[in-house]
Amino acid sequence: MGRLEGKRAIVTGAGRGIGRAIAEKFVGEGARLVVCDLVPDRLAATAAALRAQGEVHELAGNVTEGAFCRALVDFAVERLGGLDILVNNAGIAIVEPFLDHSLDAWNRTLAVNLTAVFQLGQLAARTMVAQNRGGAIVNMASSNGHVGERGLAAYNASKAGVILLTKTMAIELADRGIRVNCVSPGWIATDLTLNSGLDPAFVAGYLDKIPMRRAGKPEEVANLFAFLASDEASFITGESVVIDGGQLSEE
């Protein structure tokens, strides 16, 4: 029996990268899923691959749109009969030096990485409260929410915001049996880090900052999401768990 057997879950940004790995892990652990992504083809490919393993429904859309967030939660309740787990994974990163950081980059980053986490989290939590059987919300933060990184003012601020939003949700929802945690990955090998136009020299040099001298794998992050979403983490709430190969432990 899987660690998430029968749990009804939403995973955002599941079309590729860490979100897809989380969806795969959750289905493998017995969860029944609704997956979403902004890019329909990407999402359809994920859903098609995962349906061989379990129950997976898909809804394409943009988590920065309130109407889509409402539709997503309603869709999950309709297809799955309720909601036990929300994974707020969708996120973007725009690299611009602070002196040239555009307001557009700031607004777009905050909308996806923080405001959508608030809005979907609130809608999911209201559903869970109405069901009166608890639940778990796991948000995607970043090591960049703990320490700053050059060129990523909006990203760093958004992820620090996720960490404190997570703690606030956790303390307000604890007496309803809803746990809220976040995961703070370091450098993980995905399209975001490897194929987003970052300077190849910067990418190659990045491994020197990591004591384990390698990038993390999406599956390693997915394992942590599965643990925090499961009943094995029943006394953990309000936490940001760093998964970074030791990067933040070294000065």
Ligand X SMILES: NC(=O)c1ccc[n+]([C@@H]2O[C@H](COP(=O)([O-])OP(=O)(O)OC[C@H]3O[C@@H](n4cnc5c(N)ncnc54)[C@H](O)[C@@H]3O)[C@@H](O)[C@H]2O)c1
Residues annotated as catalytic are 155
Residue 97's CB is within 10 A of a number of other CB atoms, namely: 10
250 counts as binding ligand X under rule CB under 6 A = no
Span from 95-103, 165-173, 180-188, 227-235 in contact with ligand X (CB under 6 A): 180-188
Options 10, 64, 127, 180; binder of ligand X; rule CB under 6 A: 64
C-beta neighbour count of 93 within 10 angstroms = 22
Question: How far is Cα of residue 145 from the mean position of the Cα atoms in its chain?
Answer: 13
Whole-angstrom CA distances from 94 to 98, 113, 136, 154 are: 11, 11, 29, 8
For ligand X, the closer of residues 44 and 129 by Cβ is: 44
Identity of the residue numbered 30: G
Residue appearing with tokens 């450098």? 187
The interface region with ligand X, picked from 61-69, 98-106, 119-127, 166-174 by CB under 6 A, is 61-69
Q: Closest separation between CB of residue 186 and ligand X, Å?
A: 6
**Rounded distance between C-alpha atoms, residue 61 and residue 59, angstroms:** 7
225 interacts with ligand X by CB under 6 A: no
**Residue 161 is a binding residue for ligand X (CB under 6 A):** no
Report 107-126 residues binding ligand X (CB under 6 A): 112
Please report where in the chains the tokens 């620090």 appear, as a residue: 160
Considering only 71, 192, 198, 241, the residue that binds ligand X (CB under 6 A) is 192
Compute the chain's Rg from CA coordinates.
Answer: 17
CB-CB contact of 83 with 10 (8 Å): yes
Please pick, from the candidates 23, 56, 63, 72, the single residue that binds ligand X as defined by CB under 6 A: 63
Out of 105, 140, 169, 228, the residue judged to bind ligand X by CB under 6 A: 140
Nearest to 154, CA basis, from 167, 142, 137: 142
In eight-state DSSP terms, residue 115 is: I
In degrees and rounded to multiples of 5, residue 190 shows phi and psi of: -140, 180
- Segment lying near ligand X (by CB under 6 A), choices 49-57, 87-95, 124-132, 223-231: 87-95
Which of 4, 11, 18, 224 contacts ligand X by CB under 6 A?
A: 18
Nearest approach, Cβ of 188 to ligand X (angstroms)?
Answer: 4
Residues that bind ligand X (CB under 6 A): 12-13, 15-19, 36-39, 42, 62-64, 89-93, 112, 140, 142, 185, 187-188, 190-193
